[in-house]
Amino acid sequence: MIALKRKFLDGLNRRYIYGRVPLLHTIIFLIEMAVAARIAAKFNSYYAERPILTTMVTNAVLGGVADTVAQLITAFQSRSQQRAESDDNLVSIEIQNLNKQQSQALVELDSSKKSPSPFDFERVTRFMAYGFFMAPVQFQWYGFLSRAFPLTKMNPTGPAVKRVVFDQLIFAPFGLVCFFTYMTIAEGGGKRALTQKFRDVYLPTLKANFVLWPAVQIINFRVIPIQFQIPFVSCIGIAWTAYLSLTNSSEES
């Protein structure tokens, strides 16, 4: 049964839409988006009954979407590179006029290069688990900010700016520490791998965070109701988490 399932997934993994977009990645992305749409349609009722659990599930699904997007981008880039290399190999064969045996060897080598980037289910699970378990921390943090800096009709912008300053100077660095620590340990890395990751990617990622998130959080704290603030951040964060996924995976490679 397991072998049959693996063969089925491998068959899907080797198929592409228009020769470039990986089919399996696309199917998983569409399934995740369908689940996200279902949650969005019932979000208010779910949140009214179980706010923290609803936030956790929403974060997990959107984290899965983000990593799937990152894997899809990587697979698309890999496929494009493989096609370019394949074209170069064909030109090389014609120019050099190799004999039949040499040509067959090159064809076999080229076929091995064309093996697609498989969808990493363990990786997407790690991202979903991170979003799931990080949601309660975010929930408490946003609750603290709303209580510490309440918005008023007379001056709604001032407290929103204070929330952003606290969020970016305290929670953003802490969140990235949690992210890279969790991912490194979940991937089987030890203290040395963790130290290297922080040395190589933490500060560049934190700088990128300061470019994107202050503007997003101003809108979030100024306009979005508190029950939608974490889902709003998670939706905007699909691109951000995809960036984190690509950064983390490139460092792992």
Give tens-digit pLDDT for 96-138.
Answer: 554 554 544 444 444 444 555 789 999 999 999 999 999 999 9
Who contacts 155 (Cβ-Cβ below 8 Å, separation ≥6)?
none
Q: Look at residues 134, 124, 125 and name the one whose alpha carbon lies nearest to residue 70.
A: 124
Q: Mean of the pLDDT values across residues 51-76?
A: 91
**Predicted structure pTM score:** 0.80
Chain-centre distance of CA 136, in angstroms?
19
> In terms of DSSP bridges, do strands 16-17 and 21-22 run parallel, antiparallel, or are they unpaired?
antiparallel
- 102-141 residues labelled b (16+ CB within 10 A) or e (exposed): eeeebeeebeeeeebbebeeebbebbbebbbebbeebbeb
What is the three-class DSSP state of 50? coil
Q: What is the pLDDT of residue 129?
A: 96
Residue 210 in contact with residue 168, Cβ under 8 Å? Answer: yes
Give pLDDT tens digits for 112-121: 445 557 899 9
